[in-house]
Amino acid sequence: MKQLITSLLFSSALLGVTSGQAQQVMTVDVSNPVAAIQPTMYGVFFEDINFGADGGLYAELVKNRSFEFPQPFVGWVPFGNVTMKDENPCFERNPHYVRIVNDGRRLRAGIDNEGYRGIGLKAGESYRFSAYVRTSAAKPMKLSVELVDSDGKNPLRKELEVSGSEWTKLTAVLKSPFTDAHSRLRVVLLTEGEVDMDHISLFPVNTWEQRENGLRADLVQALYDLNPGVFRFPGGCIIEGNTLATRYQWKNSVGPVENRPLNENRWNYTFTHKAFPDYFQSLGLGFFEYFQLCEDIGAEPLPVVSCGLSCQYESNEVVPLDELQPYVQDVLDLIEFANGPATSTWGKVRADMGHPEPFNLKMIGVGNEQWDKVYVERLEVFVKAIREKYPDIKIIGSSGPNADGDKFDYLWPEMKRIGVDLVDEHYYMAPEWFQKNAARYDTYDRKGPKVFAGEYAAHDYSTGKDNNWLAALSEAAFMTGLERNADVVHLATYAPLFAHVDAWQWNPDMIWFDNLRMMRTPTYYVQQLYGMNAGTDVLNLRMDGKPVAGQDSLYATAATDSRTGEVILKLVNTGSKAADVQINFQGLKKKQLAQGICIYMQSDDLKQKNTLEAENLRPQVTQVQPADGQSLRILLPARYFGVYRLPLTAKGK
């Protein structure tokens, strides 16, 4: 069982009912489910934005470990005789390395790494240092590897020896004597002579699943706790690149990590008011690590690939149709990397990385936020090639960057004509939009492609787009409409996922972190409540004969969970007054509703948010007793989101 249920305390109070309000009556027909809810329905969208990968989920603590940033000493403070070299390198695709020369004077040659806005170290935790080294000296050279705290003290100093003129890997485990979010890693050459060093790396030993080249355990735990059905990767605009040269090229992200070439991060200089010239992609968290993570957390992988267009907002470079083939081949090869036998070209790469079994990839997105004929023409080429070779793979096309408008109106009919399986919709809108659009999908064509709500978030502009309760509550309200229309909406992923508190480009985001801690926002908990309580089949829920999509600030959906035999209600009150709601269950036949639980979030303060120091808003659990086994009367508090899980039992039990 995931963390939500195990960690929450049961509130002693039952939800009370007072009289005096006009009663709202809802009916739920239990006998006749109206649509299946896809197991993939609620998922996550990952992009290396806000230092989400390097400096975030990817647990490497050293920035620019391979010295391949355009200014190769970025992230490093060299002292003494330290020079950048590339002759006879250790890694052909990452040729730079440093030569450290000690002329005999004490402490006069070495390098310091600043990490990602510091290196987060915890007292008593072990860290795996590694580097590739060689020396021209005849005798062994001594290095001191040091953990330096933010006051400049270096209580941990470990001596290591380097010998031989061939590149070899040096490793050591260092136990940190202190806790500090802004530490540094220092390497000092102690003996007279010279040493070459490359790929200088420091990872916590305690990564997720204790993997070397692993992921930050606390951040993966947060993903796991969402119970995500699908995992979109690697973006976002990152897929497209600012230019075609900097698009995400998956083949660069697999194989030995030391030889994966650096890529400029799309978010490096996108916003002039928020420039991050030290933001690059090591691709250490690449497609193998991604597929493995999906497997770990039980989510279906959903890679999105370049369609031969760089970001249409930026350089807008277009690959001519007669030069598109390598891009198409990249996609076919990616599917082979995921699913091909270990004897196939790309299946072997996967197997050599430690996963001979296929990853069982079922769907793929072509293009991110693309638009116009230039996209449609290219998409058609991809669809034809993928359908020919992999007819079972579901293909996702784009409806552009907006929730409506010219681009959207042009693209949807084109997606139908091309016959993609799903259409990716994006909406970053005000909380009011989310509240007003809970019925958005009630009228969608049931016969066309399905919907992937691939990026969405409520942006409360009045607070500088805080991750506050208003945003989360509005998303909860809107999501009742996703669930009610589960026959049309098959996937939904909030965006973006992660943000480093000291290095972010975009807000709001679902999970914030610093170098030591992590914070789940109210939005996170809304997503978790949906992800953990999706149910398997939608039930017909009506108020005055209509879906509940904002009347009197109320929103509601109902589902059954055929695996557990429960009815699951999701009720939202965005209004400022409590609502007295009577829910009558129909079609129970020989069944009745038994005592269950309600997991809820409530705050009268719409501006309330969580911080790294204080989790002010998180779900609480209480018990619920349907009075007569076939109805429920609830006083829905103002500004409230509640999930009710009620077991269906045989009458009289």
The minimum distance between CB 4 and ligand AHR, in angstroms, equals 25
Question: Given the complex with ligand AHR, which of 401 and 637 has the nearer CB atom?
Answer: 401
Which is nearer to ligand AHR, 50 or 183 (by Cβ)?
50
How far lies 210's CA from each of 127, 205, 214, 216, in Å?
Answer: 11, 6, 7, 10
Is residue 264 within 8 A of residue 246, CB to CB? The reply is yes
User: In a 3-state reduction of DSSP, which class is residue 637?
Assistant: coil
Nearer to ligand AHR among residue 506 and residue 644 (C-beta): 506
Please indicate whether residue 369 is annotated as part of the active site: yes
What sign for the dihedral angle of Cα 72, 78, 84, 90? Answer: negative
Residues 6+ apart with CB under 8 A from 327: 305, 306, 307, 308, 319, 382
> Residue 398 CB, nearest distance to ligand AHR (Å)?
9
Full 3-state SS string of 421-488: CEEEEEEEECHHHHHHCCCHHHHCCCCCCEEEEEEEEECCHHHCCCCEHHHHHHHHHHHHHHHHCCCC
Q: Nearest approach, Cβ of 356 to ligand AHR (angstroms)? A: 33
Category of 606 on φ-ψ map: left (φ > 0), alpha (ψ -120 to 50) or beta: alpha
CA separation for the pair 429, 362 (Å, rounded): 30
| Shortest distance in whole angstroms from residue 500 CB to ligand AHR | 15
CB-based contacts of 29, cutoff 8 Å, min separation 6: 539, 540, 541, 586, 587
Alpha helices in 155-307 (DSSP H): 217-224, 237-240, 287-297
Q: Which is nearer to ligand AHR, 496 or 531 (CB)?
A: 496
State the nearest-atom distance from the C-beta of 237 to ligand AHR, in Å.
4
**Please, what is the minimum distance in Å from the beta carbon of residue 10 to ligand AHR?**
36
Rounded (5°) CA angle 440-445-446: 110
Q: Which is nearer to ligand AHR, 368 or 528 (CB)?
A: 368
For ligand AHR, the closer of residues 401 and 535 by Cβ is 401
Report the alpha-carbon distance of residue 162 to residue 146 in Å, rounded.
16
| DSSP labels, 214-253 | -BBHHHHHHHHTT--SEEEES-SHHHH-SSGGGS--GGGG
Q: Which of the following is catalytic: 336, 369, 414, 483?
A: 369
Q: Token pair for residue 313? A: 């907002």
Shortest CB 267 distance to ligand AHR, Å: 8
Residue nearest to ligand AHR (CB): 236
Query: Under 8 Å CB-to-CB from 495, ≥6 apart: which residues?
Result: 45, 47, 236, 426, 428, 454, 455, 456, 457
**489-494 and 42-45 strand pairing:** parallel
Provide CB contacts within 8 A for 336, sequence distance 6+: 344, 345, 346, 347
Task: Identify which of residues 466 and 566 has a Cβ nearer to ligand AHR in the complex.
Answer: 466
Chain center to CA of 444: 28
DSSP H or E stretch at residue 97: strand 97-102
Of residues 145 and 302, the one with the C-beta less far from ligand AHR:
302
- Concatenating the DSSP letter of every residue in 530-596 gives HHHT--SEEEEEEETTB--BSGGGEEEEEEEETTTTEEEEEEEE-SSS-EEEEEEEE--TTEEE--E
Which is closer to ligand AHR, CB of 237 or CB of 597? 237
Please report how close the Cβ of residue 316 comes to ligand AHR at its closest, in angstroms. 15
| Shortest Å distance, C-beta 459 to ligand AHR | 11
Residues 466, 468, 470, 476, CA torsion sign: positive
Chain centroid, CA 463 distance in Å: 24
For 173, counting Cβ atoms within 10 Å of its Cβ (0-12 exposed, 13-18 middle, 19+ buried), the class is exposed
* Residue with smaller CB distance to ligand AHR, 203 or 498: 498
Nearer to ligand AHR, 47 or 289 (CB): 47
Q: Is 192 exposed, middle or buried (0-12, 13-18, 19+ CB in 10 A)?
A: middle
Closer residue to ligand AHR, CB minimum distance, 170 or 304: 304
Distance CA 195, CA 192 (A): 10
Which stretches of the chain bind ligand AHR, using CB under 6 A? 47, 49, 235-237, 368-369, 401, 455, 495-496, 506
CA R_g for the chain: 27
Which 8-state DSSP code applies to residue 197?
E
| Least distance between ligand AHR and beta carbon 309 (Å) | 13
User: Are the C-beta atoms of residues 589 and 630 closer than 8 Å to each other?
Assistant: no
Smallest separation (angstroms) from ligand AHR to the CB of 505? 9
Q: How far is the CB of 219 from ligand AHR (least distance, A)?
A: 17
| Side-chain-facing half-sphere of 105: CA atoms under 13 Å | 6
Q: How far apart are CA 637 and CA 94, in angstroms?
A: 58
Kindly list the catalytic residues.
Answer: 369
